[in-house]
Amino acid sequence: MELSVEFFPPKTEEGFLRLSRAAEKLSSLPVEYASVTYGAGGSTREGTQSAVKILGGIFKNAVPHISCIGSDKTTINNILKTYINSGLNHLIVLRGDLPSGFGKGGEFSNAVDLVKYIREQFKENFRIEV
């Protein structure tokens, strides 16, 4: 059985310091990976990427969540290229939620559509969990 821990990306510098301290405390556990959530409609996209970088230095694996709702192919491509260039090869793909007042759902209706797209465009570059 794999043990994983999940973090929400902080919004402030102090929050990132607290994230690091909490991760250090948990790093003594047999954690397979630490995942970082992806806010509604991608609202924490940059925070997710920053938190994954920090956690990657603490845990064996840091895994970003990526959601399809509110995303278009160009945005997904840019995010995934950034992850590849950073050496990341593991994703948690979710449908996600639209933030309140957000009108459009994006180019993907559900997680399976995004998984298919990632496989078509990026072949086997990523281990994908749904």
pLDDT value of position 103: 56
Indicate the SS3 state at residue 32.
coil
Query: Is residue 31 within 8 Å of residue 62, measured between CB atoms?
Result: no
Q: Output the pTM of the full model.
A: 0.86
pLDDT value of position 108: 87
Nearest to 95 by CA among 126, 130, 55, 122: 130
Higher pLDDT, 70 or 45: 70
Q: Which of 2, 6, 32, 124 is catalytic?
A: 6
6 is catalytic: yes
pLDDT value of position 69: 83
pLDDT tens-digit readout, 79-120: 999 999 999 999 999 987 666 655 566 788 889 999 999 999
pLDDT-based confidence at 2, cuts 50/70/90?
A: confident
Who contacts 60 (Cβ-Cβ below 8 Å, separation ≥6)?
A: 31, 32, 33
What's the DSSP call for residue 28? Answer: T
CATH of the domain at 31: 3.20.20.220
Report the number of distinct structural domains present in the chain. 1
The answer to whether the Cα torsion of 10, 36, 79, 61 is positive or negative is positive
pLDDT tens-digit readout, 18-69: 999 999 999 999 999 999 998 655 556 788 999 999 999 999 999 999 988 8
pLDDT-based confidence at 71, cuts 50/70/90?
A: confident
Residue numbers of the domain that contains 81: 4-129
